[in-house]
Amino acid sequence: MAEDRASVEEAIRILLRHCGEDPEREGLARTPLRVAKALEFLTRGYHEDPKVAINGALFTEEEYQEMILCKNLDFYSLCEHHLLPFFGKAHVAYLPNRRIVGLSKIARMVEIFARRLQVQERMTTQIAHTIMDEIEPLGVAVVLEAEHLCMRMRGVEKQNSYVTTSAMLGVFRTHQGTRQEFMNLLRNAKG
């Protein structure tokens, strides 16, 4: 680990020189270490298994068969194309099929996938498919709404842009009424 961090720190010094800076000046002298530690924190999801996060909290619940929605789950991630942040809210719903999961585990799963280099589209489907595979519900719906600094700070520089992605599996894909109930719950939550 120490050797890996030393390599990362040297790479940051090279980047600083590339930008025209002196990595040895007082304000930047500890920046390579800080950046290395920040990257370790921001990408810690690579060392965590979202399936493990769920498995310890599955419960049999024969009677409850209505939609369960966790909304406004904050997340922060790094765009894999520019290593710039994107952040926003995740909304995750599922229709149980005799099994429910501890609610905090859904938030934990969002966090695990967010703490990797990502694209929002893939993160959306990873969350949905993991829930579908591990809980085996009748259906899963995931909507992510995010701001991307790669769109705001560089390139097109669109300051008020947001990106919304969705993944609908099972009954959320095949039954318009179930999908509409989910969308109405999201809309009502914001109003």
Catalytically active residues, by annotation: 79-82, 120, 148, 150
CA–CA separation, 91 and 78 (whole Å)? 19
Please state the length of the chain. Answer: 191
List the one residue out of 135, 131, 191 whose CA is nearest residue 167. 131
One-letter amino acid identity for 85? P
Q: What letter would DSSP give residue 177?
A: H
Exposure of 182 in the CB half-sphere (CA atoms within 13 A): 27
CA–CA separation, 11 and 9 (whole Å)? 5
Burial class (CB in 10 A: 0-12, 13-18, 19+), 40: middle
One-letter amino acid identity for 1? M
Strands, E assignment, 29-81: 58-60, 68-79
